[in-house]
Amino acid sequence: MNWFQPEVSSIPNLSITCIDLVFLVYLLRLRNKTRDCYMVILLYLTAVPAALASVFIDFMTVAPTILYGVSFFLFGVHILSVIWCSYHFYKPSYPRESKVIMTVFIVLYGSASYLWLKDFAPDNDVNLDYILAFQVIISVSTLLAAINYLRKIKFFLQGRGPFSFIGELLHPSTREVAVFGGFALSLVLLTLIQVDNILVIFGIIPVTLYFLLSYLFSVSLTLLVAFAYFNYAHEQTSFETKLVGITLFLTLTVISIIVIILFGPLTTAATAPYIKMFVWIIPVSTLLIAIFLPMLLRLTLLRHLNKIVKGVQQVISGDLNTQVEVEVNDEVGRLSQNFNKMTGSLRLRTEQLNSMRETIATDFHDQTGNMLSAITRQAGLLKLKLNREHELQPIIQSIVENSNSLYASSKDFLWQLNHNGDDPNELFDYLTSYGQLYYNQFDIAFSAEAVACEGLKLDPSAALNLIFIFKEAMTNVVKHAGATEVGLTLSCGADQVTYLLEDNGSWKEADQSSDHYGLTNMERRCCKNNFGYTISKETTGTQISIAVPVHRLNGLS
Protein backbone atom coordinates (compact mmCIF):
# COMPACT_ATOMS: atom_id res chain seq x y z
CA MET A 1 0.00 0.00 0.00
CA ASN A 2 2.09 2.90 -1.35
CA TRP A 3 -0.55 5.41 -0.27
CA PHE A 4 -0.33 4.23 3.36
CA GLN A 5 2.48 6.45 4.69
CA PRO A 6 1.35 7.57 8.17
CA GLU A 7 3.02 10.55 9.82
CA VAL A 8 3.76 11.02 13.53
CA SER A 9 0.63 13.21 13.71
CA SER A 10 -1.41 10.16 12.64
CA ILE A 11 -0.93 8.57 16.07
CA PRO A 12 -2.53 11.28 18.27
CA ASN A 13 -5.30 11.87 15.69
CA LEU A 14 -6.07 8.15 15.55
CA SER A 15 -6.07 7.96 19.37
CA ILE A 16 -8.61 10.77 19.64
CA THR A 17 -10.78 9.15 16.94
CA CYS A 18 -10.81 5.84 18.83
CA ILE A 19 -11.77 7.53 22.12
CA ASP A 20 -14.53 9.50 20.37
CA LEU A 21 -15.83 6.30 18.79
CA VAL A 22 -15.94 4.42 22.12
CA PHE A 23 -17.87 7.20 23.85
CA LEU A 24 -20.25 7.43 20.87
CA VAL A 25 -21.01 3.71 21.17
CA TYR A 26 -21.69 4.07 24.92
CA LEU A 27 -24.04 6.99 24.26
CA LEU A 28 -25.90 5.06 21.58
CA ARG A 29 -26.38 2.14 24.02
CA LEU A 30 -28.14 4.29 26.62
CA ARG A 31 -31.82 3.50 27.05
CA ASN A 32 -34.69 6.02 27.10
CA LYS A 33 -32.53 8.76 25.61
CA THR A 34 -33.48 12.35 26.33
CA ARG A 35 -33.28 15.31 23.98
CA ASP A 36 -30.00 16.39 25.61
CA CYS A 37 -28.52 12.93 25.05
CA TYR A 38 -29.29 13.11 21.33
CA MET A 39 -27.50 16.47 21.19
CA VAL A 40 -24.33 15.00 22.72
CA ILE A 41 -24.62 12.06 20.31
CA LEU A 42 -24.78 14.62 17.48
CA LEU A 43 -21.52 16.19 18.72
CA TYR A 44 -19.69 12.83 18.68
CA LEU A 45 -21.44 11.71 15.49
CA THR A 46 -20.02 14.73 13.65
CA ALA A 47 -16.64 14.62 15.43
CA VAL A 48 -15.81 11.01 14.50
CA PRO A 49 -16.08 11.38 10.67
CA ALA A 50 -14.18 14.69 10.83
CA ALA A 51 -11.39 13.03 12.85
CA LEU A 52 -11.31 10.03 10.49
CA ALA A 53 -10.92 12.32 7.47
CA SER A 54 -8.00 14.02 9.23
CA VAL A 55 -6.44 10.61 9.96
CA PHE A 56 -6.67 9.54 6.31
CA ILE A 57 -5.01 12.80 5.23
CA ASP A 58 -2.16 12.03 7.67
CA PHE A 59 -1.86 8.50 6.20
CA MET A 60 -1.09 9.86 2.72
CA THR A 61 2.12 11.42 1.53
CA VAL A 62 0.16 13.80 -0.70
CA ALA A 63 -3.56 13.77 -0.05
CA PRO A 64 -5.87 14.72 -2.95
CA THR A 65 -7.61 18.09 -2.82
CA ILE A 66 -11.03 16.41 -2.69
CA LEU A 67 -10.08 14.67 0.58
CA TYR A 68 -9.19 18.04 2.08
CA GLY A 69 -12.54 19.33 0.87
CA VAL A 70 -14.35 16.43 2.55
CA SER A 71 -12.37 17.03 5.74
CA PHE A 72 -13.26 20.74 5.76
CA PHE A 73 -16.92 19.96 5.17
CA LEU A 74 -17.08 17.37 7.99
CA PHE A 75 -15.19 19.61 10.41
CA GLY A 76 -17.45 22.53 9.51
CA VAL A 77 -20.54 20.40 10.19
CA HIS A 78 -19.04 19.46 13.57
CA ILE A 79 -18.36 23.10 14.55
CA LEU A 80 -21.85 24.04 13.34
CA SER A 81 -23.35 21.33 15.58
CA VAL A 82 -21.23 22.66 18.47
CA ILE A 83 -22.68 26.15 17.98
CA TRP A 84 -26.24 24.81 17.58
CA CYS A 85 -26.02 22.69 20.74
CA SER A 86 -24.67 25.64 22.74
CA TYR A 87 -27.95 27.45 22.00
CA HIS A 88 -30.30 24.47 22.37
CA PHE A 89 -28.82 22.21 25.05
CA TYR A 90 -31.01 21.87 28.20
CA LYS A 91 -33.39 24.60 27.01
CA PRO A 92 -33.40 26.57 23.73
CA SER A 93 -32.15 30.13 24.18
CA TYR A 94 -31.75 33.20 21.96
CA PRO A 95 -33.38 31.65 18.84
CA ARG A 96 -32.89 34.69 16.58
CA GLU A 97 -29.28 35.13 17.63
CA SER A 98 -28.56 31.45 17.00
CA LYS A 99 -29.88 31.67 13.42
CA VAL A 100 -27.80 34.78 12.69
CA ILE A 101 -24.60 33.32 14.20
CA MET A 102 -24.99 29.99 12.39
CA THR A 103 -25.66 31.76 9.07
CA VAL A 104 -22.60 34.00 9.50
CA PHE A 105 -20.46 30.97 10.40
CA ILE A 106 -21.60 29.04 7.32
CA VAL A 107 -20.79 31.98 5.04
CA LEU A 108 -17.39 32.76 6.58
CA TYR A 109 -16.31 29.13 7.02
CA GLY A 110 -17.47 28.21 3.54
CA SER A 111 -15.61 31.17 2.03
CA ALA A 112 -12.40 30.42 3.97
CA SER A 113 -12.55 26.74 2.93
CA TYR A 114 -13.13 27.64 -0.72
CA LEU A 115 -10.17 30.06 -0.78
CA TRP A 116 -7.95 27.55 1.05
CA LEU A 117 -8.77 24.73 -1.40
CA LYS A 118 -8.49 27.01 -4.44
CA ASP A 119 -5.03 28.14 -3.37
CA PHE A 120 -3.95 24.59 -2.44
CA ALA A 121 -4.96 22.82 -5.64
CA PRO A 122 -2.22 23.96 -8.09
CA ASP A 123 0.96 23.30 -6.09
CA ASN A 124 -0.16 21.81 -2.71
CA ASP A 125 0.72 25.06 -0.97
CA VAL A 126 -1.53 27.53 0.84
CA ASN A 127 -1.21 31.25 1.51
CA LEU A 128 -0.63 31.94 5.20
CA ASP A 129 -3.48 34.46 5.31
CA TYR A 130 -6.02 31.80 4.34
CA ILE A 131 -4.77 29.48 7.08
CA LEU A 132 -4.95 32.21 9.71
CA ALA A 133 -8.45 33.23 8.59
CA PHE A 134 -9.51 29.63 8.92
CA GLN A 135 -8.16 29.34 12.49
CA VAL A 136 -9.62 32.71 13.57
CA ILE A 137 -13.12 31.80 12.35
CA ILE A 138 -13.07 28.51 14.29
CA SER A 139 -11.59 30.17 17.41
CA VAL A 140 -14.23 32.90 17.51
CA SER A 141 -17.02 30.37 16.92
CA THR A 142 -15.92 28.02 19.71
CA LEU A 143 -15.38 30.92 22.12
CA LEU A 144 -18.89 32.17 21.40
CA ALA A 145 -20.27 28.69 22.07
CA ALA A 146 -18.37 28.62 25.40
CA ILE A 147 -19.86 32.01 26.31
CA ASN A 148 -23.34 30.61 25.56
CA TYR A 149 -22.88 27.91 28.22
CA LEU A 150 -21.71 30.55 30.70
CA ARG A 151 -24.85 32.52 29.89
CA LYS A 152 -26.87 29.38 30.61
CA ILE A 153 -25.23 29.18 34.06
CA LYS A 154 -26.23 32.77 34.76
CA PHE A 155 -29.78 32.19 33.52
CA PHE A 156 -30.15 28.94 35.47
CA LEU A 157 -28.95 30.49 38.75
CA GLN A 158 -30.96 33.67 38.30
CA GLY A 159 -33.14 34.33 41.33
CA ARG A 160 -31.11 32.02 43.60
CA GLY A 161 -29.11 34.78 45.22
CA PRO A 162 -25.57 36.04 44.54
CA PHE A 163 -23.10 33.62 42.98
CA SER A 164 -19.57 33.59 41.56
CA PHE A 165 -18.79 32.22 38.09
CA ILE A 166 -15.38 30.99 39.27
CA GLY A 167 -16.93 29.42 42.35
CA GLU A 168 -19.64 27.71 40.32
CA LEU A 169 -17.11 26.39 37.79
CA LEU A 170 -14.87 25.00 40.54
CA HIS A 171 -17.67 23.82 42.85
CA PRO A 172 -20.93 23.52 40.87
CA SER A 173 -24.06 23.83 43.00
CA THR A 174 -26.19 21.67 40.67
CA ARG A 175 -25.76 19.01 37.99
CA GLU A 176 -26.97 21.48 35.37
CA VAL A 177 -24.31 24.02 36.31
CA ALA A 178 -21.69 21.23 36.27
CA VAL A 179 -22.55 20.17 32.70
CA PHE A 180 -22.69 23.79 31.47
CA GLY A 181 -19.29 24.46 33.03
CA GLY A 182 -17.82 21.24 31.63
CA PHE A 183 -19.01 22.04 28.12
CA ALA A 184 -17.76 25.63 28.37
CA LEU A 185 -14.31 24.45 29.49
CA SER A 186 -14.17 21.90 26.67
CA LEU A 187 -14.87 24.65 24.14
CA VAL A 188 -12.11 26.77 25.66
CA LEU A 189 -9.79 23.80 25.06
CA LEU A 190 -11.02 23.61 21.45
CA THR A 191 -10.16 27.30 21.09
CA LEU A 192 -6.70 26.65 22.57
CA ILE A 193 -6.12 24.02 19.88
CA GLN A 194 -6.66 26.68 17.21
CA VAL A 195 -4.32 29.04 19.11
CA ASP A 196 -1.76 26.20 19.20
CA ASN A 197 -2.08 25.89 15.41
CA ILE A 198 -1.43 29.63 14.99
CA LEU A 199 1.60 29.54 17.30
CA VAL A 200 3.26 26.72 15.37
CA ILE A 201 2.54 28.43 12.02
CA PHE A 202 4.47 31.51 13.18
CA GLY A 203 7.23 29.33 14.63
CA ILE A 204 6.63 30.55 18.18
CA ILE A 205 6.60 27.00 19.58
CA PRO A 206 8.49 23.91 18.30
CA VAL A 207 6.57 21.29 16.32
CA THR A 208 7.08 18.58 18.96
CA LEU A 209 5.52 20.78 21.65
CA TYR A 210 2.72 21.63 19.21
CA PHE A 211 1.89 17.94 18.75
CA LEU A 212 1.95 17.33 22.51
CA LEU A 213 -0.25 20.31 23.36
CA SER A 214 -2.67 19.67 20.50
CA TYR A 215 -3.11 16.04 21.54
CA LEU A 216 -3.50 16.78 25.26
CA PHE A 217 -6.04 19.53 24.57
CA SER A 218 -8.00 17.32 22.15
CA VAL A 219 -8.12 14.22 24.32
CA SER A 220 -8.96 16.26 27.43
CA LEU A 221 -11.77 17.94 25.49
CA THR A 222 -13.25 14.59 24.48
CA LEU A 223 -13.01 13.19 27.99
CA LEU A 224 -14.44 16.36 29.55
CA VAL A 225 -17.53 16.41 27.32
CA ALA A 226 -18.24 12.73 27.96
CA PHE A 227 -17.75 12.87 31.73
CA ALA A 228 -19.68 16.15 32.07
CA TYR A 229 -22.66 14.57 30.33
CA PHE A 230 -22.48 11.18 32.06
CA ASN A 231 -22.51 12.95 35.45
CA TYR A 232 -25.50 15.08 34.37
CA ALA A 233 -27.44 12.49 32.33
CA HIS A 234 -31.03 11.72 33.23
CA GLU A 235 -30.54 8.31 31.61
CA GLN A 236 -29.31 5.42 33.75
CA THR A 237 -25.54 5.30 33.30
CA SER A 238 -22.76 3.20 34.82
CA PHE A 239 -19.37 4.21 36.13
CA GLU A 240 -18.12 1.28 34.03
CA THR A 241 -18.14 3.83 31.19
CA LYS A 242 -15.93 6.18 33.18
CA LEU A 243 -13.48 3.42 34.15
CA VAL A 244 -13.20 2.28 30.55
CA GLY A 245 -12.83 5.90 29.38
CA ILE A 246 -10.08 6.68 31.91
CA THR A 247 -8.21 3.46 31.11
CA LEU A 248 -8.47 4.11 27.37
CA PHE A 249 -7.41 7.73 27.87
CA LEU A 250 -4.31 6.79 29.90
CA THR A 251 -3.30 3.94 27.60
CA LEU A 252 -3.62 5.84 24.32
CA THR A 253 -2.13 8.99 25.83
CA VAL A 254 0.98 7.10 26.93
CA ILE A 255 1.30 5.52 23.46
CA SER A 256 0.86 8.85 21.68
CA ILE A 257 3.31 10.73 23.89
CA ILE A 258 5.90 7.96 23.53
CA VAL A 259 5.61 8.14 19.72
CA ILE A 260 5.85 11.97 19.65
CA ILE A 261 8.88 12.06 21.98
CA LEU A 262 10.75 9.09 20.45
CA PHE A 263 10.26 9.84 16.76
CA GLY A 264 9.96 13.63 16.76
CA PRO A 265 7.74 15.67 14.45
CA LEU A 266 9.07 14.26 11.15
CA THR A 267 8.79 10.73 9.78
CA THR A 268 11.95 9.22 8.32
CA ALA A 269 12.61 6.00 6.45
CA ALA A 270 13.97 4.51 9.69
CA THR A 271 10.98 5.46 11.84
CA ALA A 272 8.22 4.78 9.27
CA PRO A 273 7.88 1.01 10.05
CA TYR A 274 7.54 1.74 13.77
CA ILE A 275 4.90 4.39 13.18
CA LYS A 276 2.94 1.91 11.03
CA MET A 277 3.17 -0.59 13.88
CA PHE A 278 1.74 1.95 16.33
CA VAL A 279 -1.05 2.73 13.89
CA TRP A 280 -2.21 -0.88 14.35
CA ILE A 281 -1.48 -0.96 18.09
CA ILE A 282 -3.92 1.89 18.84
CA PRO A 283 -7.13 0.38 17.36
CA VAL A 284 -6.22 -3.08 18.72
CA SER A 285 -5.64 -1.61 22.20
CA THR A 286 -8.95 0.25 21.94
CA LEU A 287 -10.84 -2.94 21.05
CA LEU A 288 -9.20 -4.94 23.85
CA ILE A 289 -9.95 -2.26 26.47
CA ALA A 290 -13.48 -1.57 25.22
CA ILE A 291 -14.45 -5.27 25.09
CA PHE A 292 -12.51 -7.08 27.80
CA LEU A 293 -12.27 -4.42 30.53
CA PRO A 294 -16.09 -4.19 30.93
CA MET A 295 -16.24 -8.00 31.11
CA LEU A 296 -13.55 -8.00 33.82
CA LEU A 297 -15.35 -5.24 35.74
CA ARG A 298 -18.66 -7.12 35.63
CA LEU A 299 -17.05 -10.31 36.88
CA THR A 300 -15.30 -8.56 39.77
CA LEU A 301 -16.36 -5.12 40.95
CA LEU A 302 -19.81 -4.66 39.37
CA ARG A 303 -21.03 -8.10 40.44
CA HIS A 304 -20.59 -7.19 44.12
CA LEU A 305 -22.00 -3.70 43.65
CA ASN A 306 -25.09 -5.05 41.87
CA LYS A 307 -25.76 -7.28 44.88
CA ILE A 308 -25.70 -4.20 47.11
CA VAL A 309 -28.02 -2.34 44.71
CA LYS A 310 -30.40 -5.31 44.75
CA GLY A 311 -30.29 -5.29 48.54
CA VAL A 312 -31.13 -1.57 48.59
CA GLN A 313 -34.10 -2.24 46.29
CA GLN A 314 -35.36 -4.95 48.66
CA VAL A 315 -35.06 -2.56 51.64
CA ILE A 316 -37.00 0.10 49.74
CA SER A 317 -39.74 -2.47 49.04
CA GLY A 318 -40.04 -2.98 52.80
CA ASP A 319 -37.88 -6.09 53.40
CA LEU A 320 -35.64 -5.09 56.32
CA ASN A 321 -34.38 -8.67 56.73
CA THR A 322 -32.21 -8.23 53.63
CA GLN A 323 -28.56 -9.18 54.05
CA VAL A 324 -25.81 -8.86 51.44
CA GLU A 325 -23.23 -11.62 51.37
CA VAL A 326 -19.74 -10.27 52.10
CA GLU A 327 -17.34 -12.00 49.67
CA VAL A 328 -14.37 -9.62 49.70
CA ASN A 329 -12.55 -7.52 52.27
CA ASP A 330 -11.92 -4.37 50.22
CA GLU A 331 -13.94 -1.16 49.98
CA VAL A 332 -16.87 -3.01 48.38
CA GLY A 333 -16.75 -5.63 51.14
CA ARG A 334 -16.79 -2.93 53.81
CA LEU A 335 -19.70 -1.29 52.02
CA SER A 336 -21.56 -4.62 52.19
CA GLN A 337 -20.78 -4.95 55.91
CA ASN A 338 -22.00 -1.43 56.65
CA PHE A 339 -25.12 -2.06 54.55
CA ASN A 340 -25.91 -5.12 56.68
CA LYS A 341 -25.36 -3.09 59.85
CA MET A 342 -27.63 -0.35 58.51
CA THR A 343 -30.47 -2.78 57.71
CA GLY A 344 -30.06 -4.34 61.17
CA SER A 345 -30.35 -0.90 62.81
CA LEU A 346 -33.39 -0.05 60.67
CA ARG A 347 -35.01 -3.36 61.55
CA LEU A 348 -34.44 -2.80 65.27
CA ARG A 349 -35.74 0.77 65.12
CA THR A 350 -38.80 -0.33 63.14
CA GLU A 351 -39.56 -3.03 65.70
CA GLN A 352 -39.24 -0.44 68.48
CA LEU A 353 -41.58 1.96 66.66
CA ASN A 354 -44.14 -0.80 66.03
CA SER A 355 -43.99 -1.79 69.69
CA MET A 356 -44.47 1.85 70.67
CA ARG A 357 -47.46 2.14 68.32
CA GLU A 358 -49.04 -0.94 69.86
CA THR A 359 -48.44 0.42 73.37
CA ILE A 360 -49.96 3.79 72.47
CA ALA A 361 -52.96 2.12 70.87
CA THR A 362 -53.50 -0.15 73.86
CA ASP A 363 -53.13 2.66 76.39
CA PHE A 364 -55.42 4.90 74.37
CA HIS A 365 -58.04 2.17 74.14
CA ASP A 366 -57.84 1.21 77.82
CA GLN A 367 -57.93 4.78 79.13
CA THR A 368 -59.67 7.10 76.68
CA GLY A 369 -61.93 4.41 75.22
CA ASN A 370 -63.07 3.20 78.63
CA MET A 371 -63.63 6.78 79.83
CA LEU A 372 -65.79 7.53 76.76
CA SER A 373 -67.79 4.36 77.35
CA ALA A 374 -68.27 5.30 81.00
CA ILE A 375 -69.44 8.82 80.05
CA THR A 376 -71.93 7.34 77.56
CA ARG A 377 -73.29 4.86 80.14
CA GLN A 378 -73.57 7.50 82.87
CA ALA A 379 -75.28 9.94 80.54
CA GLY A 380 -77.71 7.18 79.50
CA LEU A 381 -78.54 6.36 83.13
CA LEU A 382 -79.04 10.05 83.91
CA LYS A 383 -81.32 10.35 80.89
CA LEU A 384 -83.48 7.47 82.14
CA LYS A 385 -83.81 9.02 85.61
CA LEU A 386 -85.02 12.35 84.27
CA ASN A 387 -88.43 13.04 82.81
CA ARG A 388 -88.67 13.21 79.04
CA GLU A 389 -89.73 16.81 79.29
CA HIS A 390 -86.82 17.78 81.55
CA GLU A 391 -84.79 20.71 80.27
CA LEU A 392 -81.52 18.75 80.59
CA GLN A 393 -82.63 16.00 78.22
CA PRO A 394 -81.28 17.72 75.04
CA ILE A 395 -77.93 18.38 76.73
CA ILE A 396 -77.65 14.78 77.91
CA GLN A 397 -78.61 13.52 74.44
CA SER A 398 -75.88 15.75 72.95
CA ILE A 399 -73.32 14.31 75.40
CA VAL A 400 -74.27 10.76 74.37
CA GLU A 401 -74.08 11.54 70.65
CA ASN A 402 -70.75 13.38 70.95
CA SER A 403 -69.25 10.58 73.04
CA ASN A 404 -70.35 7.98 70.49
CA SER A 405 -68.96 10.09 67.65
CA LEU A 406 -65.65 10.60 69.46
CA TYR A 407 -65.44 6.87 70.21
CA ALA A 408 -66.05 6.06 66.53
CA SER A 409 -63.34 8.52 65.49
CA SER A 410 -60.93 7.04 68.03
CA LYS A 411 -61.49 3.62 66.42
CA ASP A 412 -60.26 5.08 63.10
CA PHE A 413 -57.20 6.46 64.84
CA LEU A 414 -56.52 3.13 66.54
CA TRP A 415 -56.88 1.28 63.25
CA GLN A 416 -54.22 3.49 61.68
CA LEU A 417 -51.85 2.84 64.58
CA ASN A 418 -52.36 -0.92 64.63
CA HIS A 419 -52.45 -1.58 60.88
CA ASN A 420 -50.44 -0.88 57.78
CA GLY A 421 -52.35 2.31 57.09
CA ASP A 422 -50.10 3.41 54.24
CA ASP A 423 -51.09 0.36 52.14
CA PRO A 424 -53.82 1.43 49.65
CA ASN A 425 -55.42 -2.03 49.67
CA GLU A 426 -55.57 -2.31 53.47
CA LEU A 427 -57.23 1.10 53.62
CA PHE A 428 -59.70 -0.03 50.96
CA ASP A 429 -60.54 -3.13 53.02
CA TYR A 430 -61.20 -0.94 56.07
CA LEU A 431 -63.47 1.41 54.10
CA THR A 432 -65.27 -1.63 52.65
CA SER A 433 -65.87 -3.08 56.12
CA TYR A 434 -67.21 0.24 57.34
CA GLY A 435 -69.42 0.65 54.26
CA GLN A 436 -70.98 -2.78 54.69
CA LEU A 437 -71.85 -2.12 58.36
CA TYR A 438 -73.11 1.39 57.67
CA TYR A 439 -75.35 0.70 54.67
CA ASN A 440 -76.85 -2.45 56.21
CA GLN A 441 -78.67 -0.10 58.62
CA PHE A 442 -80.54 1.46 55.68
CA ASP A 443 -81.10 -1.64 53.49
CA ILE A 444 -78.77 -0.24 50.83
CA ALA A 445 -76.87 -2.80 48.75
CA PHE A 446 -73.13 -2.19 49.01
CA SER A 447 -70.39 -3.69 46.79
CA ALA A 448 -66.66 -3.20 46.57
CA GLU A 449 -64.08 -4.00 43.90
CA ALA A 450 -60.35 -3.32 43.89
CA VAL A 451 -57.19 -4.20 42.00
CA ALA A 452 -54.03 -5.13 43.86
CA CYS A 453 -51.85 -2.01 44.17
CA GLU A 454 -48.52 -3.73 44.76
CA GLY A 455 -45.41 -1.77 45.64
CA LEU A 456 -47.34 1.47 46.31
CA LYS A 457 -47.35 3.44 49.53
CA LEU A 458 -49.54 6.32 50.77
CA ASP A 459 -48.24 9.27 52.73
CA PRO A 460 -48.42 8.67 56.52
CA SER A 461 -51.28 11.15 57.05
CA ALA A 462 -53.29 10.14 53.98
CA ALA A 463 -55.15 7.14 55.44
CA LEU A 464 -56.86 8.97 58.33
CA ASN A 465 -57.90 11.86 56.07
CA LEU A 466 -59.31 9.45 53.50
CA ILE A 467 -61.31 7.65 56.20
CA PHE A 468 -62.89 10.94 57.30
CA ILE A 469 -63.57 11.95 53.68
CA PHE A 470 -65.29 8.70 52.74
CA LYS A 471 -67.27 8.47 55.95
CA GLU A 472 -68.68 11.90 55.13
CA ALA A 473 -69.26 10.84 51.51
CA MET A 474 -71.08 7.66 52.57
CA THR A 475 -73.25 9.69 54.94
CA ASN A 476 -74.11 12.14 52.14
CA VAL A 477 -75.29 9.28 49.94
CA VAL A 478 -77.91 8.40 52.55
CA LYS A 479 -78.89 12.02 53.22
CA HIS A 480 -78.97 13.47 49.71
CA ALA A 481 -78.93 10.74 47.04
CA GLY A 482 -81.77 8.37 48.00
CA ALA A 483 -79.78 5.49 46.53
CA THR A 484 -80.52 1.76 46.72
CA GLU A 485 -77.08 0.63 45.51
CA VAL A 486 -73.63 1.94 46.38
CA GLY A 487 -70.25 0.79 45.05
CA LEU A 488 -66.68 1.45 46.14
CA THR A 489 -63.78 0.80 43.76
CA LEU A 490 -59.99 1.17 43.87
CA SER A 491 -57.79 1.64 40.80
CA CYS A 492 -54.02 2.11 40.58
CA GLY A 493 -51.85 4.30 38.38
CA ALA A 494 -48.14 4.94 38.05
CA ASP A 495 -48.05 7.72 40.65
CA GLN A 496 -51.53 7.74 42.21
CA VAL A 497 -54.41 5.53 43.34
CA THR A 498 -58.07 6.47 42.91
CA TYR A 499 -60.90 5.66 45.32
CA LEU A 500 -64.34 5.99 43.70
CA LEU A 501 -67.69 5.96 45.52
CA GLU A 502 -70.74 5.81 43.25
CA ASP A 503 -74.46 5.24 43.72
CA ASN A 504 -77.64 4.93 41.65
CA GLY A 505 -79.53 7.68 43.41
CA SER A 506 -80.62 11.14 42.36
CA TRP A 507 -78.71 13.90 44.13
CA LYS A 508 -80.79 16.34 46.14
CA GLU A 509 -79.17 19.61 47.13
CA ALA A 510 -79.06 20.33 50.87
CA ASP A 511 -81.36 22.87 52.43
CA GLN A 512 -79.69 26.24 51.84
CA SER A 513 -81.33 27.79 54.91
CA SER A 514 -78.97 25.94 57.26
CA ASP A 515 -75.19 25.44 57.27
CA HIS A 516 -73.81 22.22 55.76
CA TYR A 517 -70.09 21.65 56.14
CA GLY A 518 -69.72 18.09 54.80
CA LEU A 519 -68.73 18.77 51.20
CA THR A 520 -66.73 21.84 52.21
CA ASN A 521 -64.71 19.80 54.71
CA MET A 522 -64.11 17.09 52.11
CA GLU A 523 -62.81 19.65 49.62
CA ARG A 524 -60.66 21.30 52.29
CA ARG A 525 -59.08 17.98 53.33
CA CYS A 526 -58.39 17.08 49.67
CA CYS A 527 -56.80 20.46 48.97
CA LYS A 528 -54.67 20.34 52.13
CA ASN A 529 -53.36 16.83 51.37
CA ASN A 530 -52.92 17.36 47.62
CA PHE A 531 -55.69 14.86 46.75
CA GLY A 532 -57.52 15.12 43.45
CA TYR A 533 -61.22 15.69 44.21
CA THR A 534 -64.03 15.20 41.69
CA ILE A 535 -67.78 14.98 42.32
CA SER A 536 -70.39 14.27 39.65
CA LYS A 537 -74.04 14.80 40.64
CA GLU A 538 -76.37 13.40 37.97
CA THR A 539 -79.98 12.27 37.99
CA THR A 540 -78.77 8.73 37.27
CA GLY A 541 -76.32 8.64 40.15
CA THR A 542 -73.54 10.37 42.02
CA GLN A 543 -69.79 9.74 41.78
CA ILE A 544 -67.15 10.97 44.21
CA SER A 545 -63.58 10.32 43.08
CA ILE A 546 -60.47 10.93 45.20
CA ALA A 547 -57.06 10.59 43.50
CA VAL A 548 -54.27 10.12 46.05
CA PRO A 549 -50.51 10.49 45.32
CA VAL A 550 -48.41 7.41 46.12
CA HIS A 551 -44.75 6.45 46.32
CA ARG A 552 -43.26 3.36 44.73
CA LEU A 553 -41.57 1.06 47.24
CA ASN A 554 -39.18 -0.27 44.59
CA GLY A 555 -38.48 3.18 43.19
CA LEU A 556 -34.72 2.53 42.85
CA SER A 557 -33.63 1.11 39.51
Exposure class string for 504-524: b at 16+ Cβ within 10 A, else e = bbebeeeeeeeeeebbeebee
Transcribe 357-392 into DSSP letters: HHHHHHHHIIIIIHHHHHHHHHHHHHHHHS-TT-TT
Asked whether residue 278 is assigned to any structural domain, the reply reads: no
pLDDT of res. 509: 62
| Assigned domain for 265 exists | no
Domain boundary among 238, 263, 282: 238
Whether residue 68 contacts residue 126, with contact meaning beta carbons closer than 8 Å, is answered with no
Identify the residue with better confidence: 413 or 252.
252
- Residue 189 inside a domain? The answer is yes
Pair 402, 377 in one domain: yes
pLDDT band with cut points at 50, 70 and 90 for residue 368: low
Distance CA 483, CA 471 (A): 16
Domain assignment present for 161: yes
The more confidently predicted of residues 474 and 159 is 474
101 and 214 share a domain?
yes
Tens digit of each residue's pLDDT (9 = 90 or more) over 277-310: 888 899 999 999 988 988 888 887 778 788 888 8
- Structural domain that includes position 393: 316-418
Give 414's pLDDT tier (boundaries 50, 70, 90): low
Half-sphere exposure of 16 (CA within 13 A, CB side): 27
- Say whether both 163 and 206 belong to one domain: yes
Task: Please indicate, yes or no, whether residues 400 and 440 belong to a single structural domain of this protein.
Answer: no
Q: Which residues, other chains included, contact 101 with Cβ-Cβ below 8 Å and sequence gap of 6+?
A: 83, 87, 144
Instruction: Identify whether the C-beta of residue 135 lies closer than 8 Å to the C-beta of residue 141.
Output: no
Backbone φ and ψ for 543, nearest 5 degrees, come out as -125, 130
Q: Which residue did the predictor score with more confidence, 209 or 271?
A: 209
Q: Does residue 231 share a domain with residue 323?
A: no
> Which residues, 6+ apart, have CB-to-CB distance to 177 below 8 Å?
153, 156, 157, 168
Last residue of a domain, one of 387, 418, 449: 418
Looking at the structure, do residues 139 and 205 belong to the same domain, yes or no? Answer: yes
Residue 281 and residue 231 in contact, taking contact as beta carbons nearer than 8 Å: no
Domain contains 517? yes
Q: For residues 14 and 20, what is the distance between their CA atoms, to the nearest angstrom? A: 10
Q: How many domains does the chain have?
A: 3
The whole-chain average pLDDT of the chain stands at: 82
For residues 519 and 389, state if they share a domain.
no
> Is the CB of residue 450 less than 8 Å from the CB of residue 490?
yes
Neighbours of 196 (CB within 10 A): 23
Alpha-helical segments (H) within 157-271 = 165-170, 175-201, 207-232, 239-263
Rank 62-71, 216-225, 321-330, 392-401 by mean pLDDT and report only the highest. 216-225
Q: Is the pLDDT of residue 474 over 60?
A: yes
Say if residue 513's pLDDT is above 50.
Answer: no
User: Is residue 359 domain-shared with residue 457, that is, in the same domain?
Assistant: no
Q: State the pLDDT confidence band at 269, using cuts at 50, 70 and 90.
A: confident
Q: How many CA atoms lie within 13 A of 7 on its CB side?
A: 15
Within this chain, do residues 387 and 425 fall inside the same structural domain, yes or no?
no
Q: Is the pLDDT of residue 557 over 50?
A: no
Which amino acid, 204?
I
In a domain? residue 280: no
Q: How far apart are CA 235 and CA 229, in angstroms?
A: 10
Band of residue 413 on the pLDDT scale cut at 50, 70, 90? low
Q: Output 297 or 400, whichever has higher pLDDT.
A: 297
Residue 262 within any structural domain of the chain:
no
CATH number of domain containing 509: 3.30.565.10
pLDDT at 386 over 60: yes
Co-location of 514 and 425 in the same domain: yes
Residues 6+ apart with CB under 8 A from 153: 165, 168, 177, 180, 181, 184
* Highest-pLDDT range among 158-172, 404-418, 460-474: 460-474
Q: Find residue 488's DSSP bridge partners.
A: 448, 501
50 and 182 inside one domain: yes
- Give domain status of residue 180, yes or no: yes
Q: Looking at 177, 210, 238, which one is the last position of a domain? A: 238
- pLDDT one-digit tens code per residue, 7-39: 777 888 888 888 889 989 988 988 888 999 999
Residues 34 and 174 in one domain: yes
Q: Which residues pair with 535 in a beta bridge?
A: 544
